C-alpha cells in the first residue's frame, strides 16, 4: 500500500524530546486507543492520537470491567471503583414468565479474584482515560490528542497515515485503535473483511434505580445492590445491571435483528429506537418485565446491531498493529470488549518497551500478535457461544469466566 499520488508528508511527530523514544501514532481515542497511549507514554514514547470525533456529546451506556482489565488499569493508576462504578455482587436469572431460575452470589469469588469485577458507565471511564493521557502529571510525556482528525488511509511500511483533510502524518509505528469499522484494518493482509450482522440487535437504555424501587411490580428486581438480573427466552433476553454508584440501571435487550445484512453494518452507537417496537418484542414476557421496559425514556432509547466478523489472519503488517475492536470485534455476551482492548494496550506497552528502536518495530509487533491472538480469538468464540439462542439450555454467564478473567499471565510476564 503506498500513499495516494499528489500527497506529501507535511507533518511529522518530532523525535527530539527523548532520544530513545518512539513516535507512536494511534488512530482512535476510544477505550483501547487511550489505554494504549497511557501504556506507551509510560515507556517514554511520544504518542499522538488522531480521533475523528469532537467528543462533544459522548454516548454509551454501562460496560463490564472484569478482573482481567481492572488489574491492568490499576497499573495506570486508574481505580475504576472511584468512577462511581459498581462491584458486581451477584446474578439473578428469570425465565420469560418471571420464574426465578437461579441466583448466584459472587461474594466468595469476589474474595478470590485478585481484582474486582466492576460495572462502569463508558463515559466515566472514557473521561478518566482521556484526562490521564493528556495530563502533565504522571509518567512520561503527555499524549497529544487531536480531535476532528479522521484517518482515511494507512501505509504500514512508511508508518504514515492520511487524514480526511489530505494531511499526512508520519511516525515510527501506527496503532489502529479505530473500532469495529476500522479504516486501519485495510492495512493488514486479509483486512478487507467487513463486520457483518450477527442476526441480533440490542435495545439499550438507562433508568434511575429509584424509579424501579418505587414501583411495587418492579421493586424486587432492584433491591440488591450490585446485582445483574436477566430474563430470557429462546431467542431473546434482557439484561439489567447497575452503574453510577447504583443510581442507574443499564438495560441491554438482545433480540433478533430485523434489518437485512446490508443495512446492519453502519457506524451507529447512537441510533434512535422505537419504544413501541421494544415493547412488542417482549410482549410475551412477564408483566413485571414489561413494566420495567415501559420505564424507558423514549427519547434516549437506542438500538445497536450486534456485529460479528471473521477472524483476521493477522493483526499486524510491518509498522502497523491493530488493537481492540479493530482487530477482534466481540459480540457483547461475555462483557470483554473493553477488557480485551485494555489487555491489547498493555501488551503493546510490554513489546514496545523503553529502548526498543524503530528498526525492531516489525518484529515487536509480530510478538504482540503472538501474545494476544489466541486469547482474543478464544474469547470471541466464547462470546458467540454465550450469545447463541438458548432452546432448552440454561444461560450460564460464568461458563468461561475462569479463562476470561485470568490475569496471572500478566503478573508473570510484566
Ligand atoms: P472504541 O471504543 O469503539 O473506539 C474507537 C475510536 O476510534 C472511537 O473514538 C472512534 O470515534 C475512533 N475512530 C473510528 N474511526 C476513526 C478514524 N477513521 N479516524 C480516527 N478515529 C476513528 N460498548 C458497550 O458495550 N456499551 C456501550 O455503551 C458502548 N458505547 C459506545 C459508545 C461509543 C461512542 C463508542 C465509540 C463505542 C461504544 N462501545 C460501547 C464500544 C466499546 O467501547 C468497545 O467495544 C470497546 O471498548 C473496545 O474499544 P476500542 O477502543 O477497540 O473501540
% pLDDT > 90, the chain: 72
Please tell me if the CB atom of residue 250 comes closer than 6 angstroms to any atom of ligand 1.
no
Please tell me if the CB atom of residue 376 comes closer than 6 angstroms to any atom of ligand 1.
no
pTM for this predicted structure: 0.91
Of 27, 30, 327, the residue with max ligand 1 atoms within 8 A of its CB, to mutate for a pocket test, comes to 30
Measured from the Cα of 330, ligand 1's closest atom is: 45
**What pLDDT does 57 receive?**
63
| Cell reading at 143 | 499524549
Please tell me if the CB atom of residue 206 comes closer than 6 angstroms to any atom of ligand 1.
no
Give the residue-averaged pLDDT of 15-19: 44
Residue 125 Cα to ligand 1 midpoint, Å, equals 12
Residue 316 Cα to ligand 1 midpoint, Å, equals 20
User: Phi, psi at residue 381, to the nearest 5°?
Assistant: -65, -45
Position with higher pLDDT, 58 vs 253: 253
pLDDT in tens, 167-222: 999 999 999 999 999 999 999 999 999 899 899 999 999 999 999 999 999 999 99
Please tell me if the CB atom of residue 27 comes closer than 6 angstroms to any atom of ligand 1.
yes
Burial of 125 per CB tally in 10 Å (0-12, 13-18, 19+): buried
8-state DSSP, 3 = P
Residue 7 confidence class, pLDDT cut points 50, 70, 90: very low
Listing DSSP states for 260-276 in one string gives: -GGGGG---SS-B--HH
Please tell me if the CB atom of residue 28 comes closer than 6 angstroms to any atom of ligand 1.
yes
Residue 31 Cα to ligand 1 midpoint, Å, equals 7
Please tell me if the CB atom of residue 269 comes closer than 6 angstroms to any atom of ligand 1.
yes
Min mean pLDDT across 6-20, 40-54, 284-298 is at 6-20
Give the residue-averaged pLDDT of 277-283: 96
Residue 337 Cα to ligand 1 midpoint, Å, equals 10
Does residue 159 surpass a pLDDT of 80?
A: yes
* ipTM metric: 0.96
Residue 409 confidence class, pLDDT cut points 50, 70, 90: low
Residue given cell 466492576 in the structure block: 118
**What pLDDT does 280 receive?**
96
Give the residue-averaged pLDDT of 144-155: 97
Of 37, 122, 175, the residue with max ligand 1 atoms within 8 A of its CB, to mutate for a pocket test, comes to 122
Within 72-159, strands assigned E span 86-87, 90-95, 100-105, 118-121, 144-146, 151-155
Does residue 349 surpass a pLDDT of 70?
A: yes
Mean pLDDT of the chain: 88
**What pLDDT does 385 receive?**
86
Pairing of strands 320-322, 100-105: unpaired
**What pLDDT does 176 receive?**
98
Whether the Cβ atoms of residue 284 and residue 213 lie closer than 8 Å to each other: no
**What pLDDT does 272 receive?**
81
Give the residue-averaged pLDDT of 105-114: 88
Please tell me if the CB atom of residue 31 comes closer than 6 angstroms to any atom of ligand 1.
yes
Whether the Cβ atoms of residue 202 and residue 300 lie closer than 8 Å to each other: no
Q: HSE on the CB side for 310, CA within 13 Å?
A: 8
**What pLDDT does 230 receive?**
94
Does residue 266 surpass a pLDDT of 60?
A: no
Residue 267 Cα to ligand 1 midpoint, Å, equals 10
**What pLDDT does 94 receive?**
94
CA–CA dist 142, 132 (Å, integer):
9
Measured from the Cα of 30, ligand 1's closest atom is: 4
**What pLDDT does 310 receive?**
93
Among residues 72, 17, 41, which one has the least CA distance to residue 354? Answer: 41
Q: Which helix (H) or strand (E) holds 254?
A: strand 248-256
Residue 291 Cα to ligand 1 midpoint, Å, equals 31
Of 28, 239, 268, 346, the residue with max ligand 1 atoms within 8 A of its CB, to mutate for a pocket test, comes to 28
Residue 335 confidence class, pLDDT cut points 50, 70, 90: confident
Residue 179 Cα to ligand 1 midpoint, Å, equals 5
Residue 404 confidence class, pLDDT cut points 50, 70, 90: confident
Three-state secondary-structure class, residue 355: coil
Give the chain's end-to-end CA distance (angstroms, integer): 34
Whether the Cβ atoms of residue 224 and residue 353 lie closer than 8 Å to each other: no
Residue 107 Cα to ligand 1 midpoint, Å, equals 32
Please tell me if the CB atom of residue 30 comes closer than 6 angstroms to any atom of ligand 1.
yes
Residue 344 Cα to ligand 1 midpoint, Å, equals 15
Amino acid at each position: 500500500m503506498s500513499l495516494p499520488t499528489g500527497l506529501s508528508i507535511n507533518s511529522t511527530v518530532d523525535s527530539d524530546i527523548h532520544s530513545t523514544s518512539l513516535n507512536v501514532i494511534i488512530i482512535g481515542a476510544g477505550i483501547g486507543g487511550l489505554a494504549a497511549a497511557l501504556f506507551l507514554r509510560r515507556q517514554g514514547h511520544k504518542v499522538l492520537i488522531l480521533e475523528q470525533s469532537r467528543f462533544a456529546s459522548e454516548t454509551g451506556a454501562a460496560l463490564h470491567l472484569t478482573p482481567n482489565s481492572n488489574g491492568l488499569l490499576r497499573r495506570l493508576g486508574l481505580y475504576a471503583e472511584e468512577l462511581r462504578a459498581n462491584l458486581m455482587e451477584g446474578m439473578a436469572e428469570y425465565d420469560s414468565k418471571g420464574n426465578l431460575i437461579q441466583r448466584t452470589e459472587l461474594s466468595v469469588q469476589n474474595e478470590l479474584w485478585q481484582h474486582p469485577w466492576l460495572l462502569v458507565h463508558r463515559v466515566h471511564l472514557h473521561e478518566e482515560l482521556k484526562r490521564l493521557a493528556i495530563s502533565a502529571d504522571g509518567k512520561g510525556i503527555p499524549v497529544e490528542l487531536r480531535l476532528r482528525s479522521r484517518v482515511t488511509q494507512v501505509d504500514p511500511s512508511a508508518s504514515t497515515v492520511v487524514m480526511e483533510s489530505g494531511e499526512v502524518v508520519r511516525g515510527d509505528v501506527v496503532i489502529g485503535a479505530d473500532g469495529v469499522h476500522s479504516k486501519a484494518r485495510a492495512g493488514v493482509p486479509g483486512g478487507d473483511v467487513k463486520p457483518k450482522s450477527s442476526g441480533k440487535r440490542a435495545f439499550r437504555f438507562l433508568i434511575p434505580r429509584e424509579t424501579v424501587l418505587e414501583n411495587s411490580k418492579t421493586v424486587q428486581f432492584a433491591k440488591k445492590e450490585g446485582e445483574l438480573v436477566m430474563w430470557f427466552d429462546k431467542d431473546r433476553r434482557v439484561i439489567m445491571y447497575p452503574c453510577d454508584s447504583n443510581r442507574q440501571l443499564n438495560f441491554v435487550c438482545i433480540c433478533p435483528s430485523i434489518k437485512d445484512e446490508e443495512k446492519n453494518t453502519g457506524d451507529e452507537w447512537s441510533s434512535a429506537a422505537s419504544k413501541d417496537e421494544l415493547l412488542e418484542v417482549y410482549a410475551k414476557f412477564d408483566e413485571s418485565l414489561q413494566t420495567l421496559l415501559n420505564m424507558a425514556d423514549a427519547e434516549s432509547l437506542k438500538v445497536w446491531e450486534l456485529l460479528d466478523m471473521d477472524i483476521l489472519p493477522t493483526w499486524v503488517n510491518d509498522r502497523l498493529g491493530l488493537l481492540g475492536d479493530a482487530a477482534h470485534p466481540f459480540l457483547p455476551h461475555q462483557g470483554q470488549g473493553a477488557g480485551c482492548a485494555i489487555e491489547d494496550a498493555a501488551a503493546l506497552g510490554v513489546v514496545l518497551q523503553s529502548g526498543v528502536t524503530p528498526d525492531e518495530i516489525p518484529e515487536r509487533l509480530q510478538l504482540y500478535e503472538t501474545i494476544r491472538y489466541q486469547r482474543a480469538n478464544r474469547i470471541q468464540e466464547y462470546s458467540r457461544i454465550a450469545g447463541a439462542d438458548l432452546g432448552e439450555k440454561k444461560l450460564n454467564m460464568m461458563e468461561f469466566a475462569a479463562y476470561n478473567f485470568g490475569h496471572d499471565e500478566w503478573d508473570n510476564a510484566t
